[in-house]
């Protein structure tokens, strides 16, 4: 699944090509996405100007003159800005066709993405929409800090890895980044979250923020289904320290990397560097 850096990379890639442009029409080839596309959506969207693009967690928000397009890439989705006349490929489910001759093309082999119009502004969506209203802070925002994690963990006993992957605690820390940030902070992923002290949580927040920023700059982690908006893959996976490296030597101490299941997700760690 594309994680937050991949979504942020997509946002930065498509924003210059969409902001200030006018939509000619919406062409839908497949309505059966995670949330079905209603037949009247094309009429709602056509003729509108695009005022701005933003992100909340892994959701992209495309603000129109009237309403907002809510987009989620799902398990395998991607967005491209291409000439409107370019032939669609298999799994190119819809085109947001612009009056300048280009289109925003939504590609999603597994059809678990979302592409919907809502009548609300982005600010209203963030506090009222059922998919967004209960989300925790953004990991790159100042309000996300060690004190927040410390306070939120005191009455919980789940593994710290599951805790930081809980979107009501903080958004966008997916499995890859949870494993990597816990390694950088020297914390075992199975440690009970209420046993982690304030200073260690502060180090963990620094690790999460640094890792996400570095990954955004490098174009996102290379996953099986993800490529950048310009068609080139990200390369951050080449510098992963523990994720997917079971049995390989730790890049810090040389001990073998271990793998366990935590919350039904693969978890990787070095039992020398993490405690």
Tokens of 33: 């996405």
Which of the following is catalytic: 55, 58, 203, 228? 58
Q: Which of 247, 267, 265 is nearest to 255 (CA)?
A: 247
Q: Tell me what pLDDT residue 270 has.
A: 98
Q: What is the mean pLDDT of each run of 10 residues along the chain (275 residues)?
A: 85 93 98 96 97 97 98 92 94 97 96 97 96 97 97 97 98 94 98 98 97 82 46 59 97 98 97 97
Query: What sign does the dihedral 69-73-77-83 (CA atoms) show?
Result: positive
Reply yes or no on whether 3 is catalytic.
yes
Tell me which residue has tokens 């009056």.
99
- The reported pTM is 0.88
Return d(Cα 84, Cα 249) in angstroms, integer: 49
Q: What is the pLDDT of residue 216?
A: 85
Among 21, 126, 202, 265, the active-site one is 265
Question: Residues 241-275, buried b or exposed e (16+ Cβ, 10 A)?
Answer: bbbebeeeebeeeeeebbbeebbeeebbbbeebbe
2 is catalytic: yes
Catalytic member of 2, 5, 122, 189: 2
**Is position 202 annotated in a ligand binding site?**
no
How many other C-beta atoms lie within 10 A of the C-beta of residue 157? 10
Task: Output the pLDDT for position 231.
Answer: 57
Within a 10 A sphere around the Cβ of 75, how many other Cβ atoms? 15
15 is in an annotated binding site: no
Hey, is 116 helix, strand or coil? strand
Are residues 182 and 161 in contact, defined by beta-carbon separation less than 8 angstroms? yes
pLDDT at position 219: 72
pLDDT recorded at residue 232: 54
Q: Which of 3, 8, 180, 229 is catalytic?
A: 3
Q: Catalytic site residue 228? A: no
- 155 catalytic per annotation: no
Q: Is 156 annotated as a binding residue?
A: yes
């Amino acid at each position: 699944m594309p994680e937050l850096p991949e979504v942020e990379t997509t946002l930065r890639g498509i924003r210059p090509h969409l902001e200030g442009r006018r939509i000619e029409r919406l062409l839908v080839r497949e309505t059966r996405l995670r949330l079905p596309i209603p037949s009247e959506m094309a009429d709602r969207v056509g003729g509108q100007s695009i005022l701005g693009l933003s992100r909340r967690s892994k959701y992209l928000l495309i603000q129109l003159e009237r309403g907002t397009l809510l987009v989620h890439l799902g398990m395998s989705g991607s967005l491209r800005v291409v000439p409107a006349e370019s032939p669609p490929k298999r799994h190119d489910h819809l085109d947001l066709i612009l009056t300048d001759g280009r289109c925003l093309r939504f590609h999603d082999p597994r059809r678990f993405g979302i592409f919907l119009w809502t009548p609300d502004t982005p600010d209203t969506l963030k506090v009222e929409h059922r998919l967004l209203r209960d989300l925790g802070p953004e990991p790159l925002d100042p309000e996300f800090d060690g004190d927040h994690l410390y306070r939120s963990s005191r009455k919980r006993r789940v593994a710290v890895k599951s805790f930081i992957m809980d979107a009501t605690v903080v958004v966008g820390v997916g499995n890859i980044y949870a494993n990597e940030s816990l390694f950088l902070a020297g914390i075992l992923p199975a440690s009970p979250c209420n046993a982690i002290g304030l200073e260690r949580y502060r180090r963990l927040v620094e690790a999460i923020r640094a890792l996400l920023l570095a990954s955004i700059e490098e174009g996102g982690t290379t996953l099986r289904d993800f490529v950048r908006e310009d068609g080139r893959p990200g390369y951050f996976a080449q510098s992963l320290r523990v994720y997917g490296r079971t049995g390989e030597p730790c890049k810090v101490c040389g001990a073998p990397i271990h793998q366990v299941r935590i919350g039904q997700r693969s978890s990787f760690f070095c039992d020398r560097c993490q405690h």
